[in-house]
């Protein structure tokens, strides 16, 4: 199974396939609540069901999704292995309501994982580069999107009344 590119996506970004908003409920599929994606099935490039999305991890500094945490194996959450999947290694399939992973099932089975009580240091650049290399994805911080500085009351940089006039 090949995964076509999303016509509005850029290299290194998550792709969306399917009929898009024609099949989505609510504001999706380009803007969605993270909770609506949790529990979604993940299919490997060779068509196997390899797990479910358990968590979506945000890079708070850049405001981007860094990783999806996928639960794989086990039964009813017992004995499962957690895997950090680079967000841009996933493609959202709106028709089948699942994610497509850009690697085969054997690659997922041998992927580095972690236990629910011992998460890796996901902000560690060495860990992150190794993970992206394993999945053959471009690190999201290498794309053209830069951190956007904000101004306003919430940022503490709102102009004073005198500066506005």
Residue 77 lies inside a defined structural domain of this protein: yes
In a domain, 135, yes or no: yes
Q: How many domains does the chain have?
A: 1
Q: Are 84 and 122 contacting, i.e. CB atoms less than 8 angstroms apart? A: yes
Residue span of the structural domain in which 109 resides: 15-141
For 9-31, what is the mean pLDDT? 57
Q: Alpha carbon 116 to chain centroid distance?
A: 18
123 is a domain residue: yes
- Percent helix, strand, coil in the chain (nearest 5)? 20, 25, 55
Report if residue 163 sits inside a domain.
Answer: no
**Predicted TM-score (pTM) of this structure:** 0.71
User: pLDDT digit string (tens) for 46-89?
Assistant: 999 999 999 999 988 888 889 999 998 765 555 688 999 999 99
* Residue 151, in any domain of the structure: no
CATH number of the domain bearing residue 63: 2.30.30.240
pLDDT at 139: 83
Confirm whether 1 is domain-assigned. Answer: no
Q: How far apart are CA 101 and CA 97, in angstroms?
A: 13
Instruction: Determine the pLDDT at residue 104.
Output: 94
Joined tokens for residue 163: 């500066």
Q: In what order do the strands lie in the sheet with 15-17?
A: 15-17, 90-93, 98-101, 41-43, 49-59, 64-72, 81-86
Q: Is residue 160 part of a domain?
A: no
Per the structure block, which two tokens stand in for 2? 């090949």
Residue 161 lies inside a defined structural domain of this protein: no
């Amino acid at each position: 199974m090949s995964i076509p590119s999303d016509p509005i996506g850029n290299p290194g970004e998550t792709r969306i396939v399917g009929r898009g908003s024609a099949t989505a409920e609510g504001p999706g599929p380009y803007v969605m609540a993270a909770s609506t994606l949790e529990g979604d099935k993940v299919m490997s490039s060779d068509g196997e069901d390899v797990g479910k999305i358990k968590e979506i991890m945000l890079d708070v500094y850049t405001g981007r999704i860094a990783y999806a945490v996928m639960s794989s194996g086990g039964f009813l959450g017992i004995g499962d292995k957690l895997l950090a999947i680079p967000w841009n290694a996933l493609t959202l399939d709106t028709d089948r309501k699942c994610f497509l992973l850009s690697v085969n099932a054997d690659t997922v089975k041998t992927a580095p994982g972690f236990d629910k009580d011992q998460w890796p240091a996901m902000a560690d650049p060495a860990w992150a580069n190794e993970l992206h290399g394993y999945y053959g994805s471009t690190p999201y911080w290498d794309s053209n999107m830069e951190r956007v500085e904000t101004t306003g009351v919430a940022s503490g940089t709102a102009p004073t009344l005198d500066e506005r006039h």
